[in-house]
Structure 1
Amino acid sequence: MELFGLCVVDQPETRSEAPEPVEAEELNAWKRGFTPQAEIWNGRLAMIGLSAGIAVVLLVRVFSGG
């Protein structure tokens, strides 16, 4: 199959069962390494840092008169 000049390969579904949901304690566990829990915490901390940075920029602009 050709799609916009790219070759698209149709692959059959390899997993037949749906992933099992995990408990909240397992999802929020502080695990190191390349784990799903580490990725969740990485995203949370990144959003906190981004929000803090935007808040600092806004506060500086408001109180500096610029």
Structure 2
Amino acid sequence: MENDNRNTWNWGFTSGAENWNGRLAMIGFVAALTIELISGQGVLHFWGLI
């Protein structure tokens, strides 16, 4: 059987890691924007940190 490297996890700055980093950053930004639009407060105020 052939060695298939597509399913192995590589540590460091790989293109797959950078793709996931970008995707999660976009989700976080949209979530923060949604909280701000719905509540009328910033995220830190919404969570009671400020």
Measured against the shorter chain, the TM-score band is: 0.5 to 0.7
Identity %: 50
With CA pairs under 8 Å and 6+ residues apart, which has the higher RCO, 1 or 2?
2
Structure of greater Rg: 1
Q: Partner of 2:33 in structure 1?
A: 54
- Counterpart CA distance in 2 for 1:41 and 1:56 is 22
Hey, which bits of structure 1, 4+ residues long, moved more than 2 A? 29-32
Can you give the 5+ residue segments of structure 2 that lack an aligned partner in the other structure?
A: 1-5, 41-50
**What TM-score results when the alignment is normalised by the length of structure 1?**
0.45
SS at match of 1:42: helix
Q: Which SS does the other structure have where 1:34 is aligned?
A: coil
Question: Which of 31, 39, 42 matches 2:21?
Answer: 42
Question: In the alignment, what sits opposite 2:48?
Answer: none
Looking at secondary structure, tell me which structure has more strand per residue. 1
Q: Which runs of 5+ in 1 are unaligned?
A: 1-25, 62-66
